[in-house]
Amino acid sequence: MELYSGRINTLVDELAALPGIGSKSAQRLAFHIIGMPKDRVNRLAQTLMDARENVCYCEKCFTLTDEALCPVCANVKRDTSTIMVVENSRDLAAYEKTGKYEGVYHVLHGAISPMLGIGPGDIKLKELITRLDGTVKEIIIATNSSLEGETTAMYIRKLVGDLPVRVTRIASGVPVGGDLEYIDEVTLLRALEGRTEL
């Protein structure tokens, strides 16, 4: 059914193909865009192309950035002896938001997943090992608490082997403010296993 004329349909379809945007949101967005000042729309379009064109991997940590070094790696105040390993740039941003982590990162761009056919060679693992030049004292593995994240964590532990580097894993447990009643059993068991002295 052709609800709108050609260009509007095309716009709705293109928007609806983006993740998390359903057909209703796509329509709402399309009409919002059509109603926006022309220069705002051109700027938005330019921003899309510009970001796609110029974003690359940070030379050190492999997060997505538009310069040779990302803001974290470019910051001389960061402690380069501690590397937090995350699955993607959004996870890096999540930890940056806490404002408390002073080390640097390493972005894997994925996690090992036999189900999806993603092997160790498909993510930035050998690039992580290359960074262990003797100045690195600790690797904090902050992959997701999923099957893939855990597999990747175990794999990194094995990969580091006998190198004189501490390998740690962020804690898994009950989220702060979480109500026990609504938390899944696996998480409850993890919280129990990971209990600490008071």
Judged by the rule CB under 8 A, the positions of this chain that interact with a copy of itself are: 1-8, 10-11, 14, 18-21, 25, 27-34, 36, 38, 41-55, 64-67, 70-71, 88-90, 93, 96-97, 99
Q: How far is the CB of 160 from a copy of itself (least distance, A)?
A: 28
Sign of the Cα pseudo-torsion (156, 169, 61, 176, in order): positive
Torsion angle, CA of 147/93/82/108, rounded to 10 degrees? 50
What the block records as the tokens of 146 is 């999923």
CA-based R_g, the chain, Å: 22
Pick between residue 88 and residue 168 the one whose CB is nearest to a copy of itself: 88
Q: Least separation, in Å, of the C-beta of 89 and a copy of itself? A: 6
Distance CA 130, CA 108 (A): 13
Cβ at position 104, least distance to a copy of itself in Å: 15
Strands (E), the chain: 56-57, 64-65, 79-86, 103-107, 138-141, 166-169
Question: Cβ of residue 10: shortest distance to a copy of itself, in angstroms?
Answer: 6
Closer CB to a copy of itself, 64 or 159, in the complex: 64
CB-nearer residue toward a copy of itself: 118 or 165:
118
Least gap, CB of 192 to a copy of itself (angstroms): 30
End-to-end alpha carbon distance in the chain: 64
Residue closer to a copy of itself (CB basis): 67 or 79: 67
**Residue closer to a copy of itself, measured from CB, 47 or 81:** 47
Sign of the dihedral through C-alpha 73, 78, 81, 86: negative
Q: Give the chain's length.
A: 198
Dig out the tokens for 115 from the structure.
């189900």
Nearest-approach distance from CB 176 to a copy of itself, in angstroms: 18
C-alpha distances out from residue 87 to 2, 37, 41, 134, Å = 41, 38, 33, 23
By beta-carbon proximity to a copy of itself, the closer residue of 92 and 156 is: 92
